[in-house]
Amino acid sequence: KAGVTQTPRYLIKTRGQQVTLSCSPISGHRSVSWYQQTPGQGLQFLFEYFSETQRNKGNFPGRFSGRQFSNSRSEMNVSTLELGDSALYLCASSLASGYEQFFGPGTRLTVL
Amino acid sequence: DAKTTQPTSMDCAEGRAANLPCNHSTISGNEYVYWYRQIHSQGPQYIIHGLKNNETNEMASLIITEDRKSSTLILPHATLRDTAVYYCIVRLQYNNNDMRFGAGTRLTVKP
C-alpha cells in the first residue's frame, strides 16, 4: 500500500506570496492532518480534515487554511507569506479521527 | 502544550536494548500513550501506542507503569538506523488528531 505523498517536496517563495501544498493520503484513509515543524517551535498541529470538513484547528493565524476533496486528498494554503513561515510542512493521514497517523515526507518551504 | 517529559538525549550501543523513558504524570484515564520517531528530515513514524497494558509489536515494546504516570519504550536490539528523535505523546483516542509533540529524546545508537 502506497504511503502518504506530498507535493512539492521543496518550495522557495518570497514574502507576500501565497503557496498551496498538496497531500494524498493512504488509500482508504479519510482523515488528513497538517503540521508545521520549525527548529524553534518543533512540531505544531495546524488542522485536521475528515470527510471534507475541518474538525480541529491549531493556534495559527487565518493566513493558514486548508481543504479536503471528496477523494480525501487535501491541500493547505498559506497566504501573504512571512519569513517565519519557513518550515517543514507535514501531512498525516489516518483511517479516521483518533487513529494512528501516518506521516508523509513533508514539504520544505523556504520564504525569502 | 505537551503533557510529557522526556530526556533531551540518550546514547545506546548497537545491538543493545534502548530504553527511552517518558513521564506523563497528568495523564487522565482515557488518554493513550503514543510513541513516534523522526529520522532526520523525514516525517515522523508511528511506533506503538497503549492505554494501560504493556504492548509489543515488531518494532518495539511499551511498558506503562501501573499508575500510568510514566512509560518506557524499549527497542530490543538497537541498530544504527534507530538513531532518531523519539516522541512520547499523550492523546485522547477516538477524539481528534491534534497531537502535541514535545521536544522528544534524541537517541544516538553508536557502533
Q: What is the pLDDT along chain A (112 residues), one digit of tens a residue?
A: 689 999 999 999 999 999 999 999 999 999 999 999 998 888 999 999 999 999 889 999 999 999 999 999 999 999 999 999 999 999 999 998 778 899 999 999 999 9
- B residues 5-34 lying closer than 8 A (beta carbon) to A: 34
- Inform me whether the pLDDT recorded for B6 exceeds 90: yes
Residue A47 in contact with residue A66, Cβ under 8 Å? yes
Contact criterion met (CB < 8 Å) for B44 and A31: no
The larger pLDDT score, comparing residue B98 to residue A76, is at A76
Mode of pairing for the β-strands spanning B105-110 and B9-13: parallel
pLDDT at A1: 66
Q: Does B35 touch chain A (CB under 8 A)?
A: no
Residue A20 in contact with residue A36, Cβ under 8 Å? no
Report the alpha-carbon distance of residue A110 to residue A86 in Å, rounded.
Answer: 5
pLDDT at B2: 57
Residue A106 in contact with residue A21, Cβ under 8 Å? no
pLDDT at B75: 97
Portion of chain B with pLDDT greater than 90, in percent: 74
Contact criterion met (CB < 8 Å) for A45 and B44: no
Cell of B84: 532518531
- Inform me whether the pLDDT recorded for B53 exceeds 60: yes
Residue A41 in contact with residue A48, Cβ under 8 Å? no
Q: Does B99 touch chain A (CB under 8 A)?
A: yes
| A contact test, residue of B97, B105, B106 with most A CBs within 10 A | B97
Residue B43: closest CA among chain A residues belongs to which residue? A105
